Amino acid sequence: MDPAFDHIAADGLPLIEDGAARARVLTGSLWGATAATPQHSSTIYADIELGAGGSLPVEAEADERAVMLVGGEAELDGARVEMFTLYVLKPGHQARVSSAGGGRLMLLGGEAFATRRYVFWNFVSSSRDRINQAKEEWKALRFPLIPGDDHEYIPLPEIPLTVSYP
């Protein structure tokens, strides 16, 4: 499909509140609420704010789920999580995020792809050939520049710091 942008007003993004915890459902369905964001596959994305002593369950329905701490401090199933580290949850496991002093997390995931995916740095594809083509196009500066950020070029890493799948 062609790239697209959809503006969703704040009232189309449900806010779930439970004591010292609140979560804005940005995409998909969570905790009995569904965002108005258009989807072309089952996806979940939520912005979670935990006040001191706050906690929320992480539902197990999605095939793939992950959480990332983006502010403050938090625990996942009682274990401390590191800032800006992606924690991928085991399928079927109902986890719990909590915070003694307050924290902000992102919850993301959704339906698993039916086909194998390949990852190299910022490139994801179902074809190794397309990954290699993207690498060559990036090195040759054939990707369009980002509007408003057209002064910095980030060279393709020889070995990316991302997880690379075979």
Structural domains of the chain ordered from first start = 10-110 (2.60.120.10), 115-166 (no CATH)
Stretches in the chain below the pLDDT threshold 50 = 165-166
Cross-strand partners of 55: 98
Per-residue model confidence (pLDDT) at position 129: 94
C-alpha span between 14 and 149 (Å, rounded) = 32
Give the residue from 73, 1, 5, 12 showing the smallest Cα distance to 40. Answer: 1
SS3 166: coil
Per-residue model confidence (pLDDT) at position 62: 84
Per-residue model confidence (pLDDT) at position 163: 60
Per-residue model confidence (pLDDT) at position 13: 96
Per-residue model confidence (pLDDT) at position 97: 97
C-alpha span between 70 and 107 (Å, rounded) = 11
Per-residue model confidence (pLDDT) at position 166: 44
The owner of tokens 């999605």 is 62
Phi, psi angle pair for 164, to nearest 5°: -115, 130
H or E stretch at 52: none
C-alpha span between 24 and 9 (Å, rounded) = 12
- What letter represents residue 53's amino acid? G
The owner of tokens 């935990």 is 50
Dihedral sign, Cα of residue 154, residue 160, residue 163, residue 164: positive
